[in-house]
A and B are shown apart, each in its own frame.
Chain A
Amino acid sequence: MSPQAGVTIQTQFETAAQQREADQLGMWLFLATEALLFGGIFAGYLGYRVLHPETFAAAAAHMKVGLGTLNTAVLLTSSLTVALAHHLVQQGRRRATLVLLGATIALGCAFLAIKALEYTLEFREGLMPLPGLEFRYDGPPPGQMFFNLYYTMTGLHALHLTVAVVMMAVIFVLVWRWRTPDRQARQVEMAGLYWHFVDIVWLFVYPALYLV
């Protein structure tokens, strides 16, 4: 590593700009593959919904729209705190960055808690189509497929958010230590891109499942 204008540059790069573009390009390509992972499930959803619009609407009526909307607001707020953290860490404002990263982690946990509450309510209503559990939904079969898609989409999303929360916790510790501030700025930026992506996935899960 060699210093250049106060920025730590890894040996394979010549300039800070080149290093930054490689960071960005790598992260965005990874996010494109993630988009396609979710895209496959959304494609399945789309096919079923186009073929059975009424049954999907009837099954979606069991969703807790208020909790889903609240969760969307929570995630959008967490995206703001991440964006602000990225902006302030670049200015070397360590304390403000820590507060914002802490808020982000708290909001991520709040989302997961609300999601867990929803799952609990659905479990009590007998709306979980799992082996060994009584499935008490009385509509036609595509309605059951709606619930399969609901748990796959929200479950995969919650898994991604859990990873994002753990990643933010690691970044929080790195910013806390503050050993190489310019690297910490890039770390907040990269983790932030992943966080925003998980938020964007939810922006589509929400209308797809709650607002049918």
Chain B
Amino acid sequence: MTSPGTTTPLRHDRQLWLLSAIFLLLQALLLITWGAHYVPLGAFTPVVNFGIAIIKTLLVAIFFMQLRAESGLVRAAAGLGGLWLLILFTLLLADYLTR
């Protein structure tokens, strides 16, 4: 963390450019999801939709929520939420998809 009071000229601030680039990427992914809605993908529709949602989530978590700069302990705590959800959905689908 930069100590309060330190200032770099904004146009030379690499973090600022990085965050803006991630934002553009997120909006591009949103356009792709929206566009895909009008293409008949059949059974792949949820795969594409939720696949893009997961990619967007990772971008927000890693760059906007700064997980890339956090300690292993904090990353593990963040990952645990995802792990419990994965267990929940896997067990649920193992039931419904095999009926």
Identify the A interface with B (CB < 8 A).
Answer: 5-7, 20-21, 24-25, 28-29, 31-33, 35-36, 39-40, 42-43, 46-47, 50-51, 65, 69, 72-73, 76-77, 79-80, 82-84, 86-87, 90-93, 181-182, 185, 192-193, 196, 199-200, 203-204, 206-208, 210-212
A39-B84, A76-B23 in contact; A199/B78 too (CB < 8 A)? Answer: no
Given A31-B78, A32-B77, 4 additional A-B pairs, CB 8 A: A24-B74, A76-B26, A196-B60, A203-B60
The secondary structure that dominates the B interface is helix
A50-B97, A73-B30, A204-B53 in contact; A32/B84 too (CB < 8 A)? Answer: yes
Could you jot down 28 A-B contacts, CB within 8 Å?
A7-B3, A21-B71, A31-B81, A35-B81, A35-B84, A36-B85, A39-B88, A40-B88, A43-B88, A43-B92, A50-B97, A51-B96, A76-B56, A79-B23, A83-B19, A83-B63, A83-B64, A87-B15, A91-B5, A91-B8, A92-B4, A181-B4, A196-B60, A203-B60, A204-B50, A207-B50, A207-B52, A211-B37
Determine the distance from Cα of A77 to Cα of B30 in the docked complex, in whole angstroms. Answer: 12
Other-chain residue from B2, B23, B52, B80 in contact with A90 (beta carbon distance below 8 A): B2
How many whole Å from B80's CB to the nearest CB in chain A? 6
Question: Which of B2, B13, B70, B74 is most buried by chain A, counting CB atoms within 10 A of its CB?
Answer: B74
Determine the distance from Cα of A196 to Cα of B26 in the docked complex, in whole angstroms. Answer: 13
Report chain A residues within 8 Å CB of B60.
Answer: 79, 196, 199-200, 203
A-B contact count (CB 8 A): 143
Q: How many chain-B residues does the 8 Å CB contact rule pick out?
A: 52
4 shortest interchain CB distances as A-B pairs: A32-B81, A207-B49, A92-B4, A35-B81
How many whole Å from B37's CB to the nearest CB in chain A? 5
Cβ contact within 8 Å between B3 and A5: yes
Cβ contact within 8 Å between A6 and B23: no
Cβ contact within 8 Å between A47 and B30: no
Other-chain residue from B19, B37, B61, B73 in contact with A25 (beta carbon distance below 8 A): B73
Cβ contact within 8 Å between B84 and A91: no
How many whole Å from B18's CB to the nearest CB in chain A? 10
How many whole Å from A149's CB to the nearest CB in chain B? 15
Smallest Cβ-Cβ distance to A36: which chain B residue: B84
Report chain B residues within 8 Å CB of A32.
Answer: 77-78, 80-81, 84
Report chain B residues within 8 Å CB of A93.
Answer: 7
Smallest Cβ-Cβ distance to B5: which chain A residue: A92
Report chain A residues within 8 Å CB of B65.
Answer: 192-193, 196
Determine the distance from Cα of A204 to Cα of B16 in the docked complex, in whole angstroms. Answer: 27
Report chain B residues within 8 Å CB of A203.
Answer: 53, 56-57, 60
